[in-house]
Amino acid sequence: MQFTDKTSNSIVLVRLIGIPGICKPTTNVGKESIPNFLSLAEQNKIPLLFLETAAYDTKNQNIQHILSQYRERRKNASDLIAFTANLFEKIGVRYTFFKTLKPFPYTPSDVDVLLWSDNSLKIVAKALKNQGCIPLEKNAYGVTMFSQKYKMNIDLTTQIAVSGLVYLNKELLFDNVSRLEVYEMQIQTLEPSADLLVVAAHSIFKEQMYTLSDYYTFTMLLQHWKEAIKLAEKFHIKHALETVLKMTMATTLIAFGPTNPLTKKFEEIGVVNTAKLFSQNFELPKKYDLTTLAVAFFKKIKDDPVSMKSLSHMARSASNFSFYRKIMEHVARKTY
């Protein structure tokens, strides 16, 4: 198999970063190219990872200033997570963070919180409002609150869904919540294997594209792949998880060749048939093809009673004109 990627800047970006703790960087570029790769890293939701690993020692004052800004944003997000966790613990609600903590330097655009019940949602929204947060957009399952102090959104939800369609079983997720000491306090968050499922499902069902943020989440949590595959059966998202793992394998093969340290790991979990994912211009973010998405949604609705039950909510969403506007925006975008 030939690994030709002369036109793929995203593969060069992966080689610049490597995989921390697994694969060392295999290339470097002139410091003058950093701004261009930074733009690509931003599209892929990994700007701080890129700057911390490939550009931290540059003498370019502008890049150093940007790095400082991203570090400040990460500190701000960490403070918001600590603030919300402390508030939820005092209230005594059942909650978990999801899709917010990453195994690499990361600056989330918002904080995602899953709540156990509608009553918990009301209690938390009121408590946050009393702390100066402003309610913004509401949907069938939750509300987005804006923290004036931290200048970030807190997305509160009682279901993980897209356009009303629930694609992950909340009760099963709460069976996979653990306490973790983060930012010098105990918070409730998903176990790594469950968080991998959330990332995969979010990639397929919600965003419908694969980014380098997904890539580094999966490669840096590889010790949890087998457990995630077991859980995927219960959540009825085996197809979605396998699709994301195949994208992860394809990216690794193109970037580091067939003798990379992850080859055996992919073989152990039976990830094969990635050849069709190779293209002359393998750029990320990469949208999934319509066939892949159609199969994923069909299997989800057919096999998962929770998703099937939520179809009525999706139908109500589809009766609103904004539903179709959002679909068109979804199709046209290059990132999220």
- What digits encode the pLDDT tens for the residues 77-117? 999 999 999 999 999 999 999 999 999 999 999 999 999 99
Mean pLDDT of the chain: 89
Strand partners, 168: 160
Contact 168, 232 (CB under 8 A): no
| Cα dihedral sign, 105-109-110-112 | negative
Q: What is the mean pLDDT of residues 279-291?
A: 86
pLDDT of residue 291: 94
Does the residue 3 lie in any domain? Answer: no
Residue 294 lies in a domain: yes
CA distance 51 to 104: 12
Q: Is the separation of the CB atoms in 336 and 286 below 8 Å?
A: no
What was the pLDDT predicted at 324? 40
Using the predicted structure, report yes or no on whether residue 318 has a pLDDT greater than 70. Answer: no
**Cα–Cα dist 3/126, whole Å:** 55
The answer to whether residue 4 sits within a structural domain is: no
Least confident of 135-139, 149-153, 213-217, 276-280: 276-280
User: What's the rounded Cα separation, in Å, for the pair 253 and 250?
Assistant: 5
The burial of 322, by beta-carbon neighbours within 10 Å (0-12 exposed, 13-18 middle, 19 or more buried), is given as: exposed
Lowest mean pLDDT among 239-253, 260-274, 284-298: 260-274
Task: Confirm whether 1 is domain-assigned.
Answer: no
DSSP string, 162-182: ETTEEEE-HHHHHTTEEEEEE
Distance CA 271, CA 264 (A): 10
pTM over 0.75: yes
| Average pLDDT over every residue of 241-250 | 96
When computed from its CA atoms, the radius of gyration of the chain, rounded to whole angstroms, is 20
Cα–Cα distance, 58 to 62 (Å, whole number): 10
Q: Is the pLDDT of residue 334 over 70?
A: no
For the chain, give percent helix, strand, coil, nearest 5: 55, 15, 30
Beta bridge partners of 297: none
Question: How confident is the model over 191-203, as pLDDT tens digits?
Answer: 999 999 999 999 9
The model's pLDDT over 34-83, given as tens digits with 9 standing for 90+, comes to: 888 999 999 999 999 999 998 777 777 888 899 999 999 999 999 999 99
Q: 49 in a domain, yes or no?
A: yes
Q: What is the domain count for the chain?
A: 1
Range of the domain at 194: 9-332
